[in-house]
Amino acid sequence: MLPPSLALVAGTLSAATLTTARSLLHDGTQQVLGDSEVADFKCDLPPVLNPSKDGLPPSSDIFSGEEALKLQVKRHSTIVKIPSISYDDNGEPGEDPRWDVFYKLHDTLASLYPSVHSRMERVTVNTFGLVYTVKGSDTSLKPLLLAAHQDVVPVADASTWKYPPFSAHFDGRWLWGRGASDDKNSLTGLFSALESLLSNPEWIPKRTIILALGFDEECSGRRGAGEIGKYLEELYGAGSVALILDEGGMGLELLDNDTLYALPAVMEKGHIDIWLELHVNGGHSSIPFPHTGIGIMAEIVNQIESNPWAPKLIKGSPIYNHFVCQARYSPDAAPNITKLINKGNLEALAEELVTIDRATQYRIQTSQAVDYFIGGVKINAMPESITIGVNHRIAPQDSILAVKANILKQIKPIVKKFGLTVSAFKGEELNPEFAFDEDLGDGVAEPMYEVDYNGTLILSSSQATLVAPVSPTSGPVWDVFSGTIQHSFAFDGGRVVPVGELMTGNTDTRHYINLSPNIYRWTPVRQGGNANAHTVDERVDMYVHLEIASFYYDLIRNFDASDVAPKAGAISEEEL
């Protein structure tokens, strides 16, 4: 029998080879400019948008000061204490009792936020997905969709944490715990902003507001956001939402003390996991082949890692535009970048960027990481079955097809060397044309006696996700979003510059692509305001958390006061 850890891995594998969550409509080099975008982006800013005209108390009255801090600590710690973990190998809701902790989370939300619960309609989708809706009085406006996820990643070893991971310890500034940052920071912030507005009985929103909360974002979001996305599309139709705001992005980065960059992700890289499963003859280890199956696979791993993807900076892409803004407003922060932007030397700039850090490098380069290597059951038996899994995050210049073709190209010499039979991506969409046309019997040589590995290499893929479309960074919806950011984070003697960025990971919004072209993934966290998502000692600075709640409060108000994004056929007030 396999030891339990291996059995678990095997379970994960069979699930992973299932088909993809999203239908694959097209695949190829991404057009990175939004429809309304111009190639000669100058980083002019739309006007600052102050929501004060609605007569509501300013966010500073609600989300600053010691009383506000105390209230947010109470709300947030109550939520962080609930271990709403989603595991990769969880079964379906209603079947796997590990989901049941989410009932407790739901009850807790109801008791912490009574006005949200009395004034918003609450629907559960696939048992644990939550959709809250408050109908707007003006039905000609497309709704605003705010999103967060309820689940957190597991804790590997609680004893390594400074404070127990579900104790939600508050030290006067930091609130510690799994999920304190990812993503209950947003969850608490959104509920708190809505509670403030809805506890005022006179406040009746003009624009419908939807709160969508998935429960398995940390394992692809198929059951949560996947079902919520379908539910909302059925209810409202494709393209029916004014703006979607979810977690993600690169927060807020201060440069030279005078310019604060707000970096919402306006696109996500694509994704595909490639699995290679090798079956070879086994035998007694006292008379081994020159290479065991592990050795053969090790050569494949080495070959893949020796051939990384090329970086490319595309003019007009979000990351390029980010550096255009930086060169304009903070030219001295990184003089080399400023120089290359001004010269328009994109190739040299790409080379410069890949040396800065991994986070910068992989915003312009497809990543590949061999994350699974499973093989061997006995120390005196050559393994008969070995599997490796290679995770890819696809940059806009590349594609799912290109990733598959590259893997086939990389394994070719090893296939030839060991005379392997290959079965590549059988029954899958988006397959490259590729032939292993060499005379495969040749070149195996070395020992003079015959070695027959009798090897078969089976390739498959999972989790194929296209590079996300680019959300606009100009036009009326963006202007409200950017104008609100500039207002909420304004500071004396400084400037706030919102500019789109790219995300190397995925969020629940991959399931909401059809609902709106205006999808912004942005947890409005100041740099240094949270730490250690997905690892030990996750925490959030509660003063930074208060700013997040303030921003949500302002954003809802500004969207409510604005006539942007009318429904098709509706006449906006401006036109009347």
Ligand X SMILES: *[C@@H]1O[C@H](CO)[C@@H](O)[C@H](O)[C@H]1NC(C)=O
In the complex, what is the shortest distance from the CB of residue 86 to ligand X, in angstroms, rounded to a whole number?
A: 37
Binding site partner of 182, from Zn ion, ligand X, none, Cβ cut-off 5-8 A by kind: Zn ion
Binding site partner of 508, from Zn ion, ligand X, none, Cβ cut-off 5-8 A by kind: none
Instruction: Tell me how far apart the alpha carbons of residues 13 and 305 are, in angstroms, rounded to a whole number.
Output: 22
Contacts 24+ apart (CB under 8 A), 446-451: 446/290, 447/290, 451/289, 451/290
Residue closer to ligand X, measured from CB, 60 or 336: 336
Total binding residues for ligand X by CB under 6 A? Answer: 8
Cβ pair 481, 243 in contact under 8 A: yes
CA 394 remoteness from chain centre: 13
Residue closer to Zn ion, measured from CB, 374 or 533: 533
Instruction: Tell me how far apart the alpha carbons of residues 1 and 318 are, in angstroms, rounded to a whole number.
Output: 51
Residue 454, interface with ligand X (CB under 6 A)? yes
Residue closer to ligand X, measured from CB, 139 or 456: 456
Residues that bind Zn ion (CB under 5 A): 182-183, 247
Binding segment for ligand X (CB under 6 A), chosen from 311-319, 361-369, 437-445, 450-458, is 450-458
Binding site partner of 183, from ligand X, Zn ion, none, Cβ cut-off 5-8 A by kind: Zn ion
Residue closer to ligand X, measured from CB, 354 or 400: 354
Which of the following is catalytic: 151, 253, 268, 277?
151
Instruction: Tell me how far apart the alpha carbons of residues 485 and 500 are, in angstroms, rounded to a whole number.
Output: 12
Residue closer to Zn ion, measured from CB, 213 or 243: 213
Instruction: Tell me how far apart the alpha carbons of residues 429 and 114 are, in angstroms, rounded to a whole number.
Output: 48
**Amino acid residing at 62:** I
Residue closer to ligand X, measured from CB, 527 or 572: 527
Annotation says 547 is catalytic: no
Among 256, 305, 347, 442, binds ligand X (CB under 6 A): 256
Cβ pair 276, 422 in contact under 8 A: no
In the numeric block, the tokens 């030891």 are attached to 3
Secondary structure (3-state) at 161 = coil
Binding segment for ligand X (CB under 6 A), chosen from 317-325, 371-379, 448-456, 544-552, is 448-456
Instruction: Tell me how far apart the alpha carbons of residues 556 and 551 are, in angstroms, rounded to a whole number.
Output: 9
Cβ pair 538, 155 in contact under 8 A: no
Residue closer to ligand X, measured from CB, 101 or 458: 458
Instruction: Tell me how far apart the alpha carbons of residues 523 and 248 are, in angstroms, rounded to a whole number.
Output: 5
Among 19, 52, 257, 307, binds ligand X (CB under 6 A): 257
Binding track, positions 210-249, relative to ligand X; x by CB under 6 A = ----------------------------------------
Binding site partner of 279, from ligand X, Zn ion, none, Cβ cut-off 5-8 A by kind: ligand X
Contacts of 466 (CB under 8 A, 6+ apart): 22, 24, 25, 26, 27, 270, 400
Contacts of 5 (CB under 8 A, 6+ apart): none
Phi and psi at 422, nearest 5°, equal -115, 135
Decide: residue 140, CB within 10 A, 0-12 exposed, 13-18 middle, 19+ buried.
middle
Binding site partner of 257, from ligand X, Zn ion, none, Cβ cut-off 5-8 A by kind: ligand X
Residue 336, interface with ligand X (CB under 6 A)? yes
Work out the angle at residue 252's Cα, subtended by the Cα atoms of residues 249 and 258, and round it to the nearest 5 degrees.
Answer: 150
Residue closer to ligand X, measured from CB, 50 or 281: 281
Which of the following is catalytic: 37, 183, 216, 217?
217
In the complex, what is the shortest distance from the CB of residue 469 to ligand X, in angstroms, rounded to a whole number?
A: 33
Binding track, positions 455-494, relative to ligand X; x by CB under 6 A = -x--------------------------------------
Instruction: Tell me how far apart the alpha carbons of residues 33 and 226 are, in angstroms, rounded to a whole number.
Output: 27
Among 78, 167, 281, 391, binds ligand X (CB under 6 A): 281
Binding site partner of 454, from Zn ion, ligand X, none, Cβ cut-off 5-8 A by kind: ligand X
In the complex, what is the shortest distance from the CB of residue 491 to ligand X, in angstroms, rounded to a whole number?
A: 13
Instruction: Tell me how far apart the alpha carbons of residues 195 and 219 are, in angstroms, rounded to a whole number.
Output: 29
Instruction: Tell me how far apart the alpha carbons of residues 169 and 174 are, in angstroms, rounded to a whole number.
Output: 8
Annotation says 27 is catalytic: no
Among 76, 119, 207, 279, binds ligand X (CB under 6 A): 279
* Rounded (10°) CA dihedral 198, 202, 205, 211: 10
| Residue ranges in contact with ligand X by CB under 6 A | 256-257, 279, 281, 336, 452, 454, 456
Catalytic residues: 151, 217
